[in-house]
Amino acid sequence: MLSRIAVLFLGVFGVLSSGTSALALQAGGVEVGDLETGSVVGQPFKELEVDVQLYAVELSGLKAWYPPTTVIDFKVRPGRPVLMKVTNTTSSERGFQMIDTVNASSPFVFKTEVVLKPGETRYIGIPTSDLFTATQGNTLEYRDHLYPKQPGGKLLMVK
């Protein structure tokens, strides 16, 4: 029994210390990866259309994610998973965090974080049901969690 607890602790510690975290507790959760090997709810990233492209930029010392507002209209979009492409165009390490701030204190909060090296691109796959079930409102906020005082942005979901 003690060895099972130790294995569980090490497994949880390994996931938490990997530099990428994602929470959404419905259809399989948020997946972070690269275009060739990543997948979400059984669908490879390379077979999905990219819905959102975000870029870490730096202008005159201001670190931000561009564009500051992104809209996905789910009324005209098929029910496939959402695929986001996040790219660090700067010369320093940057963080990307997206969270439902309205529901932030809930144990079922939608939250994902990734750290990007200079020039690195990562893909984030999100089951549509997770977006709708794990968020209270129609807005998710994104920011650089490594530079929390810098401006972030919003993903607006038209449902």
> How many angstroms separate the first and last alpha carbons of the chain?
47
| Residue 105 vs residue 155, higher pLDDT | 155
Record the tokens describing residue 82, joined without a space.
């959402």
Q: Is the pLDDT of residue 17 over 80?
A: no
Measure the CA angle with vertex 47, ends 128 and 126; round to 5°: 25
CATH fold of 20-158, please? Immunoglobulin-like (2.60.40)
Q: Are the CB atoms for 20 and 11 separated by under 8 Å?
A: no
Q: Is the pLDDT of residue 2 over 50?
A: no
Cβ neighbour number for residue 74 with a 10 Å cutoff: 15
Report the pLDDT averaged over residues 43-70: 95
Look at residue 29 in the predicted model and tell me its pLDDT: 77
Domain residue spans in the chain? 20-158
Record the tokens describing residue 29, joined without a space.
């959760």
Look at residue 88 in the predicted model and tell me its pLDDT: 98
pLDDT category at 20 given cuts 50, 70, 90 is low
Write the DSSP assignment of 75-92 as a string of letters: TTS-SSPEEEEEEE-SSS
Report the pLDDT averaged over residues 83-101: 94
Look at residue 43 in the predicted model and tell me its pLDDT: 93
